[in-house]
Amino acid sequence: MSIGIGVVGTGIMGADHASTISRRVPSGFVAAVADPDASRLEAAVRGTGAGKAYTNPIDLIEDPKVEAVIVASPDQTHAELVRACLRAQKPVLCEKPLAPSPEECLGLVEQEASLGRRLITVGFMRRFDPSYRAMKSELRQGRLGAPLLFHCIHRGTRASTPATSDMIITAAAVHEIDITRWLFESEIVRCRVFNSRRQTESPIRNPQFLVLENESGVLITIEVFSSVYGYDVRGEVVCDRGTIMLSDPREILLRLDGHERRDFYDDWRPRFATAYQDQMSDWIKSITGADSEEFDGATAWDGYVAASVADACLRSTTRDQDVDIELSARPEIYS
C-alpha cells in the first residue's frame, strides 16, 4: 500500500523531501505539491510526477487524494498550516520549528490533545541518524556508566548561515536541543548563552556558545559557528568510564601527492540524507500501521519543548545570565 503525500513548500527542504519520497520511499508517493512560487512548483511537479499543483496550500490540505501532509514552507507559516491539517484530521510532518514561538507551539499541542490522538510529527531528523542512534543504544547498554557531559559542535558554510543572530539558536542549535532530550530522555532545566568575539566582519553574532543542564545533571555544551569551513556536526558524550563520539560520516579519504584529504559537505542534506529517508519511511509506516514498533519521531510536545528551550536561550543572551526553563503541564496523549 502506498499513500498519497502532499508537500507544502517546494524550496530546499520541500524539494528534497519530495525527491526522497519519489525515489527512495515506495510506501508513499507525491500526490500534490503547493507553493506560491510558480517556477518552484513547476520544477517539483517535473521532478516527482505529482498529480496536482496548488498555489494555495489550504487547497492541497483539503484535497481528498492527499492522505498526509509535509509542511516545508517558511517557519512563520507552520502554525496556520498545521492547524489546517488538524482540522482535516490528516497526519502532518512539519519541518522544524513547529512554530517560531513556544506560545504558538502550545496552541497546536492543545488543539491536537483535544482531538485525543497524535497527528503531528516535527522534522527533528537527527533522531533517525545512524550515528546518533548507535550512540543512544550504547548509552542504554550502560558499559560506559552514567553520562556526565555532552560536547556538541555545529558548524556550517556561508550557504547555510542563518539570516539573524537569533536564528543561530532557533534554526541551528535547536537540533542539538532536541537531540539532547532524545538521547538522555531527560528534560533541560537551565540554559546560558555566551558570546565570544564576533567572527571578523560577520553581520550576526557568530559563533555562539550554549551551556544547557538537564534534570539528570548532565551538562551540554553547544558551539554553533556558521560561515566557516564546511558543514560539520560533531558530538561526544563523556561518561563515568569512557566517552562515545559520533562517527565521521564523510565517505572517502583521499591520499594524493603527499597529502591526505577529506571533503566536508556544503550543507545538512548529504550529511543527514539517511536520517531524512528513515524519518520519512518510518513516518509513513506509522501512518499506515505497517510498523509495530513505536515511531521515534518528534511529537508536537517535543516541538513545544524545543521552542521553549530556544526561547529561554534567547532570553539568556539578552540578560547575560542563566535562565530556568519553565514548561506547561504535559497533556496525557504525550506520555
Ligand X SMILES: NC(=O)c1ccc[n+]([C@@H]2O[C@H](COP(=O)([O-])OP(=O)(O)OC[C@H]3O[C@@H](n4cnc5c(N)ncnc54)[C@H](O)[C@@H]3O)[C@@H](O)[C@H]2O)c1
Q: List residues near ligand X by CB under 6 A.
A: 8-14, 34-37, 40, 57, 72-75, 77, 95-96, 123, 125, 171, 268
How far apart (Å, rounded) are the C-alpha atoms in residues 47 and 69? 18
Instruction: State in angstroms the smallest separation of the CB of 18 from ligand X.
Output: 11
CB 223 to ligand X: min, Å: 18
Residue placing its CB nearer to ligand X in the complex, 160 or 239: 160
Measured distance CA(216)–CA(102) in Å, rounded: 23
Closer by beta carbon to ligand X, 91 or else 123? 123
Q: Which is nearer to ligand X, 269 or 285 (CB)?
A: 269
Say which residues have a Cβ less than 8 Å from residue 16's Cβ, sequence separation at least 6: 269, 276
Q: How far is the CB of 14 from ligand X (least distance, A)?
A: 6
CB of 154 to ligand X, least distance (A): 11
Residue nearest to ligand X (CB): 11
- Minimum CB distance to ligand X smaller for 124 or for 184: 124
Min dist. Cβ of residue 325 to ligand X (A): 22
List of E strands, the chain: 3-8, 28-34, 52-54, 68-71, 92-94, 120-122, 147-155, 188-194, 208-214, 219-225, 232-239, 243-245, 254-256, 259-261, 298-299, 323-324
Whose Cβ is closer to ligand X: residue 57's or residue 102's? 57
Query: How many Å apart are CA 168 and CA 165, to the nearest integer?
Result: 6
Q: How far is residue 36's CA from residue 318's CA, in Å, rounded to a whole number?
A: 36
